[in-house]
C-alpha cells in the first residue's frame, strides 16, 4: 500500500486525534501561558520558569508544542503562548552559569520556529547565539561535541558524548544555511560521524554515553549506562533520539550513511517494540520485572519513522515505517493518553531513566506526540 493510501485508511483516526489535541490544548494554552511545564502535579502543569529552574533542558518543549499547534490550526491562542514562553525563556540568558549541549531542545523549536514562521529578528538572534554556543562545545582534537559540564556520579565528563545530541545538531545545519557559513554543518557532520561509529552498535541498538580521549579522534575509552539499565543494554529513548536524529541529519545533508544508520536503528526499535504490543519499554534489555515503559520513546520514534517513510525510496520500507508509526501512536493513544479536562498533560507513562521517575507525564512526550500527528495530517513544516 502506498504512503497516501495508508494515510487515507487512517484519516478518521488522525483527524479525530488532532481534534482531541486541539480541544484540550487550546484550553491549556491559555491556562499555562505563564508557565514552562515539565510534568503535572494533581493534574496541574508544574512550572520550571522560576530562578535556576529556567535552565531546565526541557524548557523548549511547551513553547515548541504551541508552535506545532499554531502551524496545524492557525489559532492565535497558541501563538500568544509560544511568544510568551520565548519571552520567559530569555531569563535563561541571565541565569546560565554554564552552557550545555541541549540548546537545540531549548531554542531551535521555540525561537528557531518563531523566526522561520514570522521572520522575527530577535528570535533569529536567540537561535544563532544558541547555535554558536553548541559549536563552542566541539572538541577539535577528539572530534565530538561534549555533552554536560562538571561531573556525573563523580566522574569528569569533559570527554563524554551522548546520543541525545543527535537531536541538537539540527540547529547547526540551520545556522550554516542561515548565515552561509559551512563550518556549522561540518561540525555537525563530524559529530554525527562519531556518533554513527561509537554510539550505534552493529545490531542497531545504542550506547547512551561514550567516553572519548579529548586529545585524539576515534578513541573510545569506555561507555556508561546513563539513563538506561546497563552499559550493554539499550535505553529506548536513546534509540529514539538516534532514529529521529540520524533521519534529520540525512534530511539536512542528503548523506546516505545517515539514512542507512537511521534505518538500522529503526529496524532494532521496531523489532523490540513489536514484542510489547507497540508500547515501548524503558530499556529494551531491562529485566522482565519491573516492567518499565517509556511513552516518550514511542512519540519520538514515531516522528522519526514518519520522516523515514517520507525519505526512503523503496515502497515496502515506506509502508513499514509509516505503518509502525501508526501502530505505536494508536497503541499509546488507546492506553496512555488522558483527554480529560482535569489533567493538563496528555501522554502519560513517560520515564526519565531506569533508576528513577518512571511512568509520569513528561512535556516532550506531548510535544512529540503532537508533532507526529501533525506530520500525519500532512504538514510540510519541519521544526528541526
Ligand atoms: N536528553 C535527556 C533525556 O532524554 O532524558
d(CA 6, CA 92): 43
Q: What is the pLDDT of residue 111?
A: 98
Q: Is the peptide bond before 325 cis (omega within 30 degrees of 0)?
A: no
Domain that holds residue 316: 3-376
> Would 382 be classed as within a structural domain?
no
Q: What is the pLDDT of residue 227?
A: 98
- Give 102 Cα–ligand 1 centroid separation in angstroms: 9
d(CA 350, CA 57): 16
Asked whether 294 lines ligand 1 (CB < 6 A), one says: no
Asked whether 146 lines ligand 1 (CB < 6 A), one says: no
> Would 88 be classed as within a structural domain?
yes
Q: What is the pLDDT of residue 151?
A: 94
> Would 153 be classed as within a structural domain?
yes
> How far from 312 is each of 7, 140, 300, CA to CA, in Å?
17, 33, 18
Asked whether 237 lines ligand 1 (CB < 6 A), one says: yes
d(CA 102, CA 88): 17
Q: What is the pLDDT of residue 96?
A: 82
- Give 164 Cα–ligand 1 centroid separation in angstroms: 6
d(CA 69, CA 63): 10
Q: What is the pLDDT of residue 97?
A: 79
The distance of Cα 328 from the centroid of its chain, to the nearest Å, equals 16
- Give 316 Cα–ligand 1 centroid separation in angstroms: 32
> Would 17 be classed as within a structural domain?
yes
Q: What is the pLDDT of residue 98?
A: 78
- Give 350 Cα–ligand 1 centroid separation in angstroms: 11
d(CA 115, CA 262): 28
The distance of Cα 308 from the centroid of its chain, to the nearest Å, equals 15
Q: What is the pLDDT of residue 333?
A: 98
> Would 323 be classed as within a structural domain?
yes
Q: What is the pLDDT of residue 137?
A: 97
Asked whether 101 lines ligand 1 (CB < 6 A), one says: no
Joined together, the cell numbers standing for residue 321 give: 515505517
> Would 97 be classed as within a structural domain?
yes
pLDDT < 50 positions in the chain: none
CATH value at residue 94: 1.50.10.10
Cβ pair 107, 127 in contact under 8 A = yes
Cβ pair 240, 300 in contact under 8 A = yes
> Would 384 be classed as within a structural domain?
no
Widest Cα–Cα separation across the chain: 55
> Would 191 be classed as within a structural domain?
yes
d(CA 331, CA 360): 17
Candidates 169, 108, 163; CA nearest to 138 is: 169
Q: What is the number of domains present in the chain?
A: 1
For 274, other C-beta atoms within 10 Å of its C-beta total 12
Amino acid at each position: 500500500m502506498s504512503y497516501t493510501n495508508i494515510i487515507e485508511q487512517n484519516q478518521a483516526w488522525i483527524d479525530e486525534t488532532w481534534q482531541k489535541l486541539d480541544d484540550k490544548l487550546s484550553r491549556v494554552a491559555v491556562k499555562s501561558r505563564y508557565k514552562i511545564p515539565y510534568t503535572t502535579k494533581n493534574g496541574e502543569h508544574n512550572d520550571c520558569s522560576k530562578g535556576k529552574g529556567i535552565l531546565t533542558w526541557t524548557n523548549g518543549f511547551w513553547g515548541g508544542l504551541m508552535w506545532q499547534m499554531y502551524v496545524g490550526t492557525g489559532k492565535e491562542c497558541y501563538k500568544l503562548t509560544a511568544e510568551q514562553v520565548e519571552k520567559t525563556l530569555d531569563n535563561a540568558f541571565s541565569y546560565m552559569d554554564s552552557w550545555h549541549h541541549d540548546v537545540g531542545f531549548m531554542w531551535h523549536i521555540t525561537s528557531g520556529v518563531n523566526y522561520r514562521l514570522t521572520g522575527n529578528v530577535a528570535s533569529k538572534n536567540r537561535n544563532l547565539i544558541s547555535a554558536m554556543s553548541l559549536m563552542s562545545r566541539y572538541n577539535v582534537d577528539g572530534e565530538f561535541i561534549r555533552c554536560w559540564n562538571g561531573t556525573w556520579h563523580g566522574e569528569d565528563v569533559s570527554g563524554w558524548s551522548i546520543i541525545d545530541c543527535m537531536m541538537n545538531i539540527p540547529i547547526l545545519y540551520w545556522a550554516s544555511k542561515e548565515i552561509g557559513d559551512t563550518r556549522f554543518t561540518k561540525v555537525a557532520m563530524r559529530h554525527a560521524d562519531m556518533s554513527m561509529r561509537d554510539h550505534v552498535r552493529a545490531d542497531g541498538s545504542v550506547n547512551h554515553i561514550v567516553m572519548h580521549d579529548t586529545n585524539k579522534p576515534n578513541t573510545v575509552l569506555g561507555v556508561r549506562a546513563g539513563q538506561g539499565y546497563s552499559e550493554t543494554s539499550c535505553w529506548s529513548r536513546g534509540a529514539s533520539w538516534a532514529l529521529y536524529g540520524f533521519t534529520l541529519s540525512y534530511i539536512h545533508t542528503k548523506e546516505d550513511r545517515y539514512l542507512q544508520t537511521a534505518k538500522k536503528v529503526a529496524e532494532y526499535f521496531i523489532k523490540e517494540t513489536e514484542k510489547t504490543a507497540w508500547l515501548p519499554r524503558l530499556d529494551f534489555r531491562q529485566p522482565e520485572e519491573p516492567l518499565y515503559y517509556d511513552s516518550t520513546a514511542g512519540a519520538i520514534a514515531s516522528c522519526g519513522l514518519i520522516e523515514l517513510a517520507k525519505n526512503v525510496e523503496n515502497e515496502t520500507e515506506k509502508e513499514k515505517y509509516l505503518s509502525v508509526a501508526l501502530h505505536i501512536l494508536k497503541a499509546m493513544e488507546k492506553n496512555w493518553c488522558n483527554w480529560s479536562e482535569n489533567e493538563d498533560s496528555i501522554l502519560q507513562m513517560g520515564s526519565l531513566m531506569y533508576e528513577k521517575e518512571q511512568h509520569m507525564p513528561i512535556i516532550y512526550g506531548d510535544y512529540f506526540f503532537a508533532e507526529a500527528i501533525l506530520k500525519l495530517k500532512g504538514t510540510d513544516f519541519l521544526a528541526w
